A and B are shown apart, each in its own frame.
Chain A
Amino acid sequence: MDERQRQGGPCPPNPSGNAHVTEQETRRLLQELLQKQADAGLRPKDRLAIPPQEMPQQDAAVRRGNVNEVALGYTEEQARLEAMRCLQCRNAPCVEGCPVRIRIREFVGAIAQGDYRKALEIIKENSLLPAVCGRVCPQEVQCQEKCTVGLSLKDVSKAVSIGRLERFVADREQDSAAAPAVAPATGKRVAIIGSGPGGIVAAADTRRAGHDVTVFEAFHKPGGVMVYGIPEFRLPKAIVREELRTLEKMGVKIVTNFIVGRTRTIEQLMKEDGFDAVYVGVGAGLPSFMSIEGESLVGVYSANEYLTRANLMKAYDFGKGADTPIAKSRRVAVIGGGNVAMDSARTAVRLGAEKVYLIYRRTEKEMPARVEEVHHAKEEGVEFHLLQNPKRILGDAGGSVAAIECLRYELGEPDASGRRRPVAIPGSEFQIEVDTVIIAIGNLANPLIRQTTPGLEFNKWGNIVVDEHCRTSMPGVFAGGDIVLGAATVILAMGQGRIAAAAMNEYLAEK
């Protein structure tokens, strides 16, 4: 592996995106359009004719061997061209698709005008983590799904790339963004449990209102799923650190190695430690297994474990400064079709596996993963085994994984989720020789808060019950994110953190 790239040094841009368009041509096109705009204005037809800007990215063959970020980010010219594709629709349907209702039309308009600072300011009115969301939001089923440009061109992949634009301004203007202003001290104390995306937003919003805020994190590093789960090549840790630094600049205290429920209970925090309100954003945090034979063999991982070893504990540097080992796999089967499955498969590629199979029981169309992740995984050589599902895992004499036995499936009638139900084909069993199996089929609710918080209401799946303001059954206790929603996304957790913070601020004002 190239040492310079390993250390996150500047990587040579190797954009395989618009391979056929040179930077020069992009610049010329931008000049032409700016001229035309100045002379006669741009009509919708002109805007629709601007080619969608491809994301420059590390070459697939190169990135298989490093953990650096895959997508390199738009150039300034690309960003302006992409922003000029926006029709500035009066009704801005894109905003409807955004869980935190960023004023998308306005920020895209600011980029088209070259005012990047203003663009970031507009985003920051509603989202605290644009550098994160620009990278990990499933835009194609949110803002971009509603985009008129995509609809006009009859292809959602040709919608204005709102996420890439968000990332562009977040990266470009990160130094200029001042920490949000904080209101005079109220004397009220807020505990935020969990330092993931929802907790960060809840902390920032309650701190802005002047409360004294402490974030508690069970791990030794804050950031939640953004540091243990989402890999470096998709979301560099430095970006998450930067967002957390903003919180600290605002005066939010972050306490690590603190397990609410065990180190102190919610009741102790409120009755003995003087916290007036609590936000529970602990995530789902209990990996699902399939209850099939062989799941406890050596070499079977939950995606959580595999990714935590690789990301948080940096197992890819084992023996070179990191002490946490990870399987040295030759052939890996990843089970599942979501983003976490893609992250696991692509991590296995980077850890040196010769073959990585992604086994999913439906077809690609039903996969919950972001389109871009599926695309990247394929580019990196992950082999997709669709309409297949494991029946059992076979071990060798030493108790290690030797093979996985799968059944073939076909799609039947639509189920409750509206997706066609996969139906096993009897007698279709076959085996694939593998030494590692990573199970990425989702998470259940972590039982820790439930076990240690009598009086808090949970549903039958173990998720905390809340009202539309994220209020739980206990006065002063609010909750959001995966522990409420089940498995969701960074942006949905952030949306809940924001709703909860508003309710907390209101509750504390009246208290």
Chain B
Amino acid sequence: MSHRVVAKRQIGEEVFWAEVEAPLIAQARKPGQFIILSIDGNYSERIPLTIAGANAAAGTIELIWQRVGKTTAELADLSEGDEIANIAGPLGTPTHIERFGAAVCVGGGIGNAPLLPIATALKQVGNRIIAILGARDKSRMILEDRFAEVSDELIVCTDDGSYGRKALVTEPLKEVCGRDPKPGHAFVIGPTPMMKFCCEVTRSFGVPTQVSLNTIMIDGTGMCGGCRVEVDGKAKFVCVDGPEFDGHKVNFDLMIKRLNAYKSQEQQAYDQYKQHRCRIGLDG
């Protein structure tokens, strides 16, 4: 069964959103879960993407991605009505949702996408939601309006100050954690270095912290082990043991190295694709 792109648009600098037909996944998915897709039926790459939202009645899921390489660029080049050959999911263990009192949800860049369904679910069980959203600049700030709907308090900041407060997310996070009473739990999703530094902050305040990891994967069902990370000194599989882990126990430095394992090949594939786009006139 292939999956039709029902709607698609660019929502930020290099960031895209699409609503895609996947009725079974739309029905089954829970916050914190992801899918693996490959665009054509044969030898295109399998990549994991977060499910940003779903409409079970319409049978669609929402995907948000950043254009960083060949596959994400190909996705960005799809038009409404085009098909994605393979989408498997929902994968990963759903987020454990409970009433913590106040929950601080910290999103960085594209991380706002997986964070949104979690914040929504946390709100639904009665948590007070303090959302801190960060981005490099204004053009990369996504989903602010949707967070506004589910947050009791929303703090927006950019690295360059072009929008909201000029700060890294760690700064407002420190302030929030320093309040009395401190938040019962933190949820942090974003670029790996950002998660690492946020965890250092919450650790110093003793605020339990959940992070959601996005590593390189092939099958997403535990079969290959390519996604493994070190948690509390032990190898864990992001696809079946995660994607969420206790952020205070994750070895982020090793994870960053593993994420870069194929950097040169990824760049080669992306460059080839850009040349190909140019030749077929997609670049106008």
A positions within 8 Å CB-CB of B: 218-220, 228, 255-259, 262-264, 283, 285-287, 289, 291, 295-299, 301-302, 304-305, 308-309, 313-314, 317-319, 321-325, 327-328, 398-400, 446-448, 451
Contact with A along B247-284 (1 / 0, CB 8 A): 00001011001101110011011001000000000000
Q: Are B265 and A325 in contact (CB under 8 A)?
A: yes
B positions within 8 Å CB-CB of A: 1, 24-25, 28, 38, 41-46, 70-71, 85-91, 93, 218-219, 221-226, 228-230, 235, 237, 240, 251, 253-254, 257-258, 260-262, 265-266, 268-269, 272
In the complex, what residues of B have CB within 8 A of residue A298's CB?
257-258, 260-261
Picked from B28, B219, B258, the residue with its CB within 8 Å of the CB of A262 is B28
Q: How far is the CA of A104 from the CA of B64 in the complex (A)?
A: 57
Q: Are A322 and B43 in contact (CB under 8 A)?
A: yes
In the complex, what residues of B have CB within 8 A of residue A308's CB?
218-219, 223-224
Q: How far is the CA of A231 from the CA of B38 in the complex (A)?
A: 22
Given contacts A286-B223, A304-B224, A446-B222, contact A257 B86 (CB under 8 A): yes
Q: How far is the CA of A218 from the CA of B46 in the complex (A)?
A: 13
In the complex, what residues of A have CB within 8 A of residue B91's CB?
259, 262
Given contacts A218-B219, A289-B225, A304-B225, contact A263 B25 (CB under 8 A): yes
**Residue of B with least CB distance to A286:** B222
The 4 closest A-B pairs by CB, nearest first: A399-B257, A325-B265, A305-B224, A322-B43
Picked from B87, B228, B240, B254, the residue with its CB within 8 Å of the CB of A257 is B87
Q: How far is the CA of A398 from the CA of B226 in the complex (A)?
A: 18
List, sorted by A's number, 8 A–B pairs whose CB atoms are closer than 8 Å. Answer: A257-B1, A262-B91, A286-B222, A289-B225, A289-B228, A289-B235, A302-B224, A309-B218
In the complex, what residues of A have CB within 8 A of residue B226's CB?
301-302, 305
Q: What 13 additional pairs, Cβ within 8 angstroms, besides A228-B223, A263-B28, A448-B221? A: A258-B88, A259-B89, A263-B90, A285-B222, A296-B235, A296-B254, A298-B258, A305-B224, A323-B43, A323-B44, A325-B266, A400-B257, A447-B240
Picked from B235, B265, B272, the residue with its CB within 8 Å of the CB of A295 is B235
Q: Are A313 and B218 in contact (CB under 8 A)?
A: yes
Q: How far is the CA of A309 from the CA of B262 in the complex (A)?
A: 13
**Residue of B with least CB distance to A261:** B221
In the complex, what residues of A have CB within 8 A of residue B70's CB?
323
Q: How far is the CA of A400 from the CA of B254 in the complex (A)?
A: 10
Q: How far is the CA of A301 from the CA of B216 in the complex (A)?
A: 12
> In the complex, which of the residues B46, B229, B272 has the most CB atoms of chain A within 10 Å of its own CB atom?
B46
